Amino acid sequence: MANQTSDKVNTVLQAGDLELLRTSSLTGAVEKELEHLILTGELKPGERLNEIRLSNRFGISRGPLREATRSLAARGLLDVVRNRGVFVRSISVKEALEIYDLRAAIFGLAGRLLVDHVTDEMLATLNDYLQRMDALAEQRNFDDYYPTNLAFHDHLIGATGSASLVNEYHGLVDRLHLCRAKGLVQAGGLAVSNREHREMVDSLAAGDKLRAQEAFFRHVERSKRRFEMAAEADAREDEEKRDGR
């Protein structure tokens, strides 16, 4: 009856990883698993999550599964529609732009806060990051550039010492992955000029809070603009496809 799709579903993940996940509650483990599936795109925006099939696949009952989905819904990764089910959240370009702004504001706050935490050692570490990224960019080694860039940002965020800030920031980044135009998000993050990074670190070294906040803020705003342009180009393509052909 329901075999047409259940096969496909069963291939995505095998049951039995329970042992590993037993560290926390079942609900928590399933939540992490689902989160992973969503963020990696194995579950795509708009896709529906069938309660029974999913619980069978994880080898659990519907209770913990439902609890996990409500939690993910509250975190903005799933949509729960009454009597219809839960869907992977799909965020519009408009919403993505809003999230970029929030991210800019929080990243800007990170810059402002970091001015009070700056040490010579930290500056050395950051300059090290800059040099590595400069080198990778010159070699056009994008595969290594991307994770280094990520680590650089995570390092900055974490160095604020504010757990709340870290949480909030990552929540926003996660939600950005739910944009249908996910590729565009990555593209926006890649084409970063190292001049922006240098200005960020320099403003920290200068101990100028406002300058740092603005440098950090603008850095995110620029990737927002790149995303925006890519999204517009994308929309134009679709339009041509519909009109022309």
Partner DNA sequence: CCGTATTTGTCCGTATGTATG
Partner DNA sequence: ACATACATACGGACAAATACG
Binding site for DNA (CB under 7 A): 1-2, 25-27, 48-52, 59-64, 66, 80, 82-86
Q: What are the distances in angstroms from CA 104 to CA 34, 152, 197, 219, 221?
A: 27, 16, 14, 8, 6
User: How far out from the chain centre does Cα 161 lie?
Assistant: 20
Q: 116 vs 144, which CB is nearer to its own copies? A: 116
List the one residue out of 184, 218, 190, 173 whose CA is nearest residue 93: 184
- Write out the two tokens for 105: 């504001």
Specify whether the CB–CB gap between 91 and 175 falls below 8 A. Answer: yes
CB of 72 or CB of 184, closer to its own copies:
72
Nearer of residues 75 and 182 to its own copies, judged by Cβ? 75
**Exposure on the CB side of residue 204, measured as CA atoms within 13 A:** 28
Tell me how many degrees the CA angle 126-132-133 measures, rounded to the nearest 5: 90
Report the C-alpha gap between 190 and 35 in whole angstroms.
24
162 binds its own copies (CB under 8 A): yes
Residue 237 tokens read as 């393509």
Residue 151 contact partner, candidates DNA, its own copies, none, CB within 5 to 8 A by sort of partner: none
One of 104, 126, 173, 200 touching its own copies (CB under 8 A): 104
Near its own copies by CB under 8 A, which window of 3-11, 97-105, 147-155, 196-204? 97-105
Scan residues 185-214 and list those touching its own copies (CB under 8 A): 210, 214
Q: Which does 106 bind (CB under 5 to 8 A by kind): its own copies, DNA, none?
A: its own copies
Q: Which does 201 bind (CB under 5 to 8 A by kind): DNA, its own copies, none?
A: none
CB proximity list for 77: less than 8 A, separation 6 or greater: 35, 38, 88, 89, 174, 175, 178
Q: Which is nearer to its own copies, 145 or 216 (CB)?
A: 216
Stretch that binds its own copies, among 12-20, 47-55, 96-104, 195-203 (CB under 8 A): 96-104
Provide the token pair at 145.
Answer: 């550039």
Binding of its own copies by 70 (CB under 8 A) = yes
Point out which residues bind its own copies (CB under 8 A): 24-25, 27-28, 63, 66-68, 70-75, 80, 82-83, 95, 98-99, 101-102, 104-106, 108-109, 113, 162-165, 168, 210, 214
